[in-house]
Each structure stands twice: as C-alpha cells, then as structure tokens.
Structure 1
Amino acid sequence: MTATQLKQPVGDIQRWLACGLVIIMGVLPLWPAGHKSAHDFQRAAECLILLAASFSLWWKPTCLPEYRSRSALAAASLVLLILMSCWHSRYTAAALQEVALWLGLLGWAWVCRQRAVAGDESTLLRAMAAAMAAYAATVLLLYLTSLMSGQLLDARGFMIGFSNPRFLNHVQTVAVPLLWVVAASDADKRWRALASGAAMAQIALTVLTLARATFLAWLVALIVLTLSRECRISRQGWTCLVSGLLGALLLFLALPSALDLTWRPSFASPTGLSSAHSRDLLWTAALDQFLQSPWLGQGPMHFAAQINPTAAHPHNVYLQLAAELGLPASLLVMGLMLMPLAQGLRCLYRATPSRPLLAGALAATMAALVDGAFSGNFVMPLSQLWIATAWGLMAGAVARCEPAAVPLRERRSWSLKHWAASLLLATQFGLCVTTAMQAAREPPRIRADSPVPPPGETYRPRFWLDGWI
C-alpha cells in the first residue's frame, strides 16, 4: 500500500510536467519574443524545455526504455562514431553543442514515449489541440481584422511568431496528423470538435502559404494509412484535408474577391510553385561535403561552417546527416529512427481494432520524414520539438502492441538508467549555460567571431537565426 501511494504522486507530477511542457511548446509562437527574433527566442526556450524533460527522466530513470543487445550495440557504435566526427570537425565545441541538442530531443521523446506506454497520452494530445486551435484562431482574427480595415492583404504578416512562415509549415506538418487522433478518438465530443476545427484551420493556413512539401507529406502519410487499412484516422485526415482546402478557397480567395481586396505577393505566389528555390545548389554542396569526408563527415552542425549564399542547412535531412556525420553514422541514425516506424506499420496492418494513437503518430512521423527531404524541419527549434513528440508517441504506441524486451536484472537495469539519465541531465544543463552565453551576444551566434551578415542582408538560420558557425 505504501509503495503504491509513493509511486502515484511521482507519476502524476511527471504527467503534468509533460503536459505543461507541451502547452509551453504550443504557445511559444504567441509569446512576445522581446528584442530577440522569434527563432532565437524559441531556441532558448527549446533548451529550457529539454532541460526540464531531462530532469523528469533523472528524477525517475525507470521511465527510460529497455534495450535489446542488438539495439544497444548499434547505439554504442553510433555514439562512438559521432564523437569521432566531433573530434574530426573544425569547431569541436559547436559539434558537441549540436550533439547535446540531439540528446535533449531524444530525452523529450522518451518522456512522450513513457506517457504513451502508460496509456496517458490523452492529456498531451488535448494540450496540443488547444495550442494549435489558439494559434489558428489568433491568425484568423488578424486576417478578419485586416479584411474589415480594407487594407492590402499580406500573407506573411499574418503568420506571427515565426521568423519565416516556412517554420510554421514545419510545425503544421507534424501537428496536424496528431490533431486527427484527437478529432477521431477523444472521448469528449467538445475536444473532438476543437481538434477537427484546429486541423482544418491549420490546413487552410498551409494553403495560404503554398507549402508544397507539407501537402506532399500529408498525402504520403494518408496514402500509407489507407493502404494499411487504418480507416478511422485516414478517414478523418482526408475529411480535414478536403475541408481545409475548401475553407481556404472561401476565406482567402472568394471572400477577398467579394470585398474587392487584393493580396500583396510578398511571400508565396503560384508562380513559385515550380521553382527549386536553390535547393539543387544546396544539395550539391552537401554532396560535395560528404565526398570530402565520407566516413566521419564534416562534423555535427558543420554544413553551417562553410558559408554559401543560400542557407546554413541543405534543406534535406538525409544529405545533411551524410555530410555532417559520414555514411556509417548517418545509416545508423536512420536505422534506429526507422526501426520503430517499421514495427508500427506492421502492427498497424495486423491490428483488428483501430489504434488511433499509433496511426496518427505514424502519420506525423512519416510526414516529418517526407518534409525532411525538402526542408529544414529537422533543424528548426519548434519543429524539432514536435518531431520528437511524434516519434516518442509512436515509439510508445509500438511498445504497447509489441512483445516486451527481456529486462535486465532489476538492480543492473536501474543503475544503467540512472547513469544514462544523469549524463543526459548534465549535457542539457551544459547546453543551457552555453545557450545563455551565446544569446547574450548581439546578434546571438555560436562563436563571438562567427560571421555576421551586414545590415539589410538576410540571416541564414541554423542553431541561431545568425546560423553560421
């Protein structure tokens, strides 16, 4: 009786801490960034969220998953290769900073995984639905206010809270499939209605910004769900997608036309839909960097160490991993990431009853992977948090339908997890200290002598908005 009473408060505290972090993550775009850019503000907030998540794992290290010996060997090999890549890199401190960020995202994914394993994901999903609904309502309110004023309409101006509206699209890619889960399966019809409305509104905003990669990602995810015979989430997804498209036509085309208002072509225009936007040049640069060092890569974050006129990341996560980590480490990273995805698809295909969480989290993860082939969603702060959330929920949903791994002896298992959680906490504390020092610079940047663009020139984001190392 005593043990049960002691464990329950800890579980409750961890559940509400995770829920609070999701709410913070969701409302960050609506929070005033002060004199910092939205990107820099969100990066600093991301590091604090990851520190809180690592503290949660350190407080209760038994939340960390058990690993089979094959996975443990692959993970150990990956760690060794990444450390060798850092040592081989030009700026070792910057490379280690990127690795610490990755570890923090993995810790946050573990927190979300634990909530899914415990069957306690509904609180997190409702928090996501509320945050996405609040953002969509704010943007639509700004839009309607602009309509009533009769001013020239500016799509870019409505996408508040992001240094570039494309960063919003990266979040939408992952968040909308998770909204489908709430819309299709929540026990309360009010939450189902809220999530459905939020999904349709976010899809309409995606139409307004002409986000090609995001729509391609959703289409691929929905086709895979449909072929997997997961009708519940796929039906909800197709319904929201069509409704959002129709809503966008009515709100952003028919209504301004009826009021004799026009759009300012300052951000997205239909003529740009067939343009590569210099991605071919970035992919060529990433391939050249990979060929220069195919085994250890240039080092984590080090695509940003060679200045080019376009971007500090190659807009393709797969080429980025190859260029920065080398072929062996990038293959191990993708293998460890895709293993639960493959397990989840098998589980989804075999499942007789519908598994909404598994289907929605799989859709969100697949969408992120498709978007990652054309954008920088894996390097921007908020989309990183959303991707880690989706991956953690997917891994937890898979763990609920897969046979459990054979556990280590209890004392040995606790000791290993305790040391792993302590190391994670130490890296996240160090990351926050480093981030605070860098944020004090004007503008925030990795090194004091990092290249700074002259006045009037566009920043190239990576870790900070001034993304060059």
Structure 2
Amino acid sequence: MVFSIRQRGNVFLVLAVCLLVLGICVPFGGHDLQRTIQIALALLALLYGLSVNHGPWLDRPAAIGLALVIALGMISSGLAHQPLWAFTEVSLFISCGLIAVAFAAVRREGGERLDRVLILIVVLLCLVKSAQYLYAGMLAFTSGQRLLDPDLLLSGFSNKRFYGQFQTFTLPLLALPLLLPTLSRPVRAAVLALLCVWWLIAISGGTRGTWLGLGTAGVLLAALGPGGRRWVAWQLAAAGGGLLLYWLLFTGLAGYLGIELSSGASDRLTTSLSGRGPIWWQAWHMIVERPWLGFGPMQFADIPNVIAAHPHQAILQWASEWGVPSTLVVIALAWRGGWATLGVLRERGLSTQRVDLLRLCLFAALVAALVQSMVDGVIVMPISQLWLALVVGWLLALHPRVPGGAALPMVAGIWTVLSVVAVGLLIFVAARDVPHITQAQQRYINATHNHLQPRFWAQGVIALPRP
C-alpha cells in the first residue's frame, strides 16, 4: 500500500504524539526513558524525511551558518578527550534539527487543521499531568502524614526542574484557546481553570527559571500589539488563580489539617545561584583555556565536579565545549531567526486569525525557553530538546517561504548523509548502554557516594574511572 505525503506526515505525527505522551505522562518515566524516546523519534523523523521531499527550509546565509556550526563541532569532537561522546553530542544536535524539519514539513503539508491538533495535544498533556498532580495531592493530604514535600507530587520527570522546563514550553501554548474570539464561554472557563492548575504546579514546583522565562516573554509580548497584551492578561489572571490555589492548599488546608511543608514556594524567592557559581567558573576556565574549538561537545561532563555534568547556562556550555566561534554563529542564527519572526508578529499584530495567534504563543514559548536556558539545562534535557525542536519546526512552517532556499543544491544530500550517520550513532549508543544502564548508575553511586548528574543519560558523567 502506497501512502501519500500527507498520510505519511499523519503517521509520523501520530507516532510522535504517542512517544511524547509515553515520555511525559507515565509515572515511572524519567531521564533515560525520555532520552530513548528522543532517539526513537529521531529515527521516525529520519524515515519520514527520506520518504518525502521537504524542499528548502533555509536561505543561503542560514544554511552556511548551520554548516559551519556542524563543521566546527566535528573538528572539535575529533580533538576531544573522548571523541565518541563528543560525536554523540553533535549527533544529538543534528537529530534535533531533523525532528524540527519533520514537524515543519508535517505542518506545512497538513495546513491549519494541524494547529488545532497541536493545541489539543498540549491541552491533553497538561490535563493528564494536572490530574496526576491533584490525585497525588489528595493522597498526600489524606494519608495522615504530618510532613508534606510538594516536590513529591510531581511525577514523570527525574528532577522538578525538568518538569518546569516542560511547563515553560506549554504554559504559553495553553493560553491560545483563550485568545480565540470564537471560543464558547464554557470551553473558555474550562481552559482557564486548567491554566490556573498548570500555574499552581509551576508555583509549587519552584522552578525560578520558568518564572523568569515567562516573565521575560510577557514583557516582550506586551509590546507586540493587542494580541500580546491579551496573552499577558490571561497569563497574569491564571498565575493569580494558581497562587490562590497554592495558598488554599498548602497554607489553608495544610494548616487546618496540621500538616507542615518541608519546602514551600516562598523558600525559592531568593537570588542565590543554587550552586551554579562553581560550574559557571569551571565553564569559564575551559573557555579561557581553549577558546577556539573548546574541549569538545559533552566534554564538560569529562571534568568531574560534585554539582552537575553541564554548566546550567547555554552560552557558557556551548562556548566551553564547541568553542567561541561556534557560539557566536549559533547566537547569530538564533538572533536572525528570532528577528524575522518578530517582524512577522509586528506586521500582523492586529490579526485575530488562529495561525497568527499560534505564532505569538510559539514565539513566547521560544523566548521563555531561551531565557530559562541562561540559568538551566534547557538545551541538555531530552524532553526540553524535543519541545524546542517542535516549537522551532512549527514556527519555521508558519514563516513565509524562504526565497532562494535552493541556492545550495548539495545541501540536501549532505544533510541526508549526516542525518543517517547521526541517528545511527545514537541508536548504537542506546543499544550499547540501555541494557546495563541501571547497574552502571548503581556502580557510579557506590563509587562516588554522590547523586546522579544527568547529561546524555541520567548518570551523565563521562569521565573515565582512574586506573
């Protein structure tokens, strides 16, 4: 049976959604499962890409910039202390681009109907996670225990900050139905209630990077016209509702039942770096020592420290591992893409069309995530990488078609070869490590008496043991 291009896109989208739901919603999920799902999704994107002709997505300057980043990454990886892990990180970068292109192709082929599908997926994911949170809260309040840790109510992620990163992407998108003028009042009220609960979880989780990212996105969107200001108004209303729910549950009800909180959201209202200072200094010293090509992708994890296998700061991470020139190219590409999207948003600031409002929400999610990446590992964690690829891919599909995109005829062939090699390497690493991953993590904990430090896997330190 021969599938049309649209049918192939639908199959890819259905399988991608199933994988996302599995990685986010299963209570026993975590970093390693999510990384495995990311590799599976990259394989799906590769197969989909090989079966259709996507057409040009980048203009000549962007294509040259991307090629330069990959070339510099390859050279840096070849010179790294552990080249295989370095090439694995480059493969992750390529696979994220592959997934973004696949989502862009699916959206462009499927049209505006897929915008409704995307928002429905976001609503369902947030609904499931909210139900899990409220159910866990009900069990905690009725258990008879006198001490409650709100962090234990979060499930599906290895760390509450990873949960917060997922919320950074979904909070902006969940507000889209509230911006649509045709939405009925009952549906609007239901979506607002869900957004309030989603903010309750964001507040109780205490991820300051999420608060910072959403606040920065709000300031920017407020200057982009009526649609942006309405988005800010709905987010402020929902955040206020979430704060009220937090007070009712964790102050009012907890106090009435005589339950004490082991940690509260107010404890996170500090300016402390939460241990980031030493790892930022480590990244800075790496930059000073090897500014041109860095130590190699993922090689921050090759220098053990007691805090983390990545510096929790995107620019410092990229510069210390890939080199300063590569970092400048990546910043230039991100700025160029963001500025182009900002221009479209300004042009259509008065529009109430679904596609323009979705572009606004996607841009808010992207801005919030990039801001959070300045203090958190957004570019490291598998679910965050997947959502970053999805948001970028969808924005790419919504952008006006690129003029002169076919100016480099060899790009498509080279990209295909790179994609096949990258996904093949990721599958090799997964097949090598997954069967023994639990034992390896236990050996690491027994040897170091330390916590797991996620990078590629949940135990992300790649430094070779001393003989």
- When normalised by structure 2's length, the TM-score is 0.89
| CA deviations over 1:305-336 (Å, ceiling 9, x no partner) | 10011111101011001100111101112222
Aligned residue number for residue 380 of structure 2? 379
Aligned residue number for residue 19 of structure 2? 24
Aligned residue number for residue 172 of structure 2? 177
| CA deviations over 1:148-197 (Å, ceiling 9, x no partner) | 23323221211111211111011111111111224433966576555433
| CA deviations over 1:320-372 (Å, ceiling 9, x no partner) | 01100111101112222232211111211221314211110110000011101
Alignment of 1:149-188 (within 5 A): 149-151=143-145, 152-185=147-180
* Count of residues paired in the alignment: 451
User: Amino acid of the residue matched to residue 322 of structure 1?
Assistant: A
Aligned residue number for residue 238 of structure 1? 236
Q: 2-side partners of 1:305 and 1:184: how far apart?
A: 47
1:39 Cα offset (Å) = 1.3
Secondary structure of the 2:433 match is helix
Alignment of 1:349-388 (within 5 A): 349-351=346-348, 352-354=350-352, 355-388=356-389
Secondary structure of the 1:241 match is helix
Contact persistence 1:444–1:464 (CA under 8 A): no
Contact persistence 2:56–2:406 (CA under 8 A): no
Matched, 1:132 2:126: yes
Secondary structure of the 1:55 match is helix
Secondary structure of the 1:233 match is helix
| CA deviations over 1:40-92 (Å, ceiling 9, x no partner) | 121112111121122111211x2253332222222222222111111111111
Alignment of 1:217-366 (within 5 A): 217-229=213-225, 230-265=228-263, 270=267, 273-351=270-348, 352-354=350-352, 355-366=356-367
User: Amino acid of the residue matched to residue 331 of structure 2?
Assistant: M
Aligned residue number for residue 465 of structure 2? none
Q: 1:32 to 1:441 in 2, by over 3 A?
A: same
> 340-349 or 453-462, which moves further after superposition?
453-462
Aligned residue number for residue 3 of structure 1? none
Contact persistence 1:177–1:364 (CA under 8 A): yes
1:442 Cα offset (Å) = 3.8
User: Amino acid of the residue matched to residue 257 of structure 1?
Assistant: G
Contact persistence 1:183–1:194 (CA under 8 A): no
Secondary structure of the 1:374 match is coil
User: Amino acid of the residue matched to residue 110 of structure 1?
Assistant: V
Partner residue of 2:457 out of 457, 464, 469: 464
Q: 1:112 to 1:241 in 2, by over 3 A?
A: farther
| CA deviations over 1:73-124 (Å, ceiling 9, x no partner) | 2222222211111111111110010111111111111122234443332212
Structure 1: gaps spanning 5 or more residues: 1-5
Contact persistence 1:174–1:368 (CA under 8 A): yes
Q: 1:280 to 1:186 in 2, by over 3 A?
A: farther
Sequence identity percentage? 25
Q: 1-side partners of 2:231 and 2:396: how far apart?
A: 18
1:249 Cα offset (Å) = 2.0
> 415-424 or 431-440, which moves further after superposition?
415-424
Contact persistence 2:56–2:402 (CA under 8 A): no
Q: 1-side partners of 2:294 and 2:440: how far apart?
A: 23
Q: 2-side partners of 1:430 and 1:207: how far apart?
A: 39
| CA deviations over 1:242-268 (Å, ceiling 9, x no partner) | 222222222332222233322223x86
Partner residue of 1:92 out of 73, 83, 101: 83
Q: 1:154 to 1:347 in 2, by over 3 A?
A: same
Matched, 1:201 2:197: yes
Matched, 1:13 2:4: no
Aligned residue number for residue 71 of structure 1? 62
1:445 Cα offset (Å) = 6.3
Matched, 1:50 2:42: yes
Secondary structure of the 1:356 match is helix
User: Amino acid of the residue matched to residue 49 of structure 1?
Assistant: L
Contact persistence 2:46–2:419 (CA under 8 A): yes
User: Amino acid of the residue matched to residue 234 of structure 1?
Assistant: V
- When normalised by structure 1's length, the TM-score is 0.88
RMSD in angstroms over aligned alpha carbons? Answer: 2.7
Q: 1:19 to 1:196 in 2, by over 3 A?
A: farther
1:236 Cα offset (Å) = 2.7
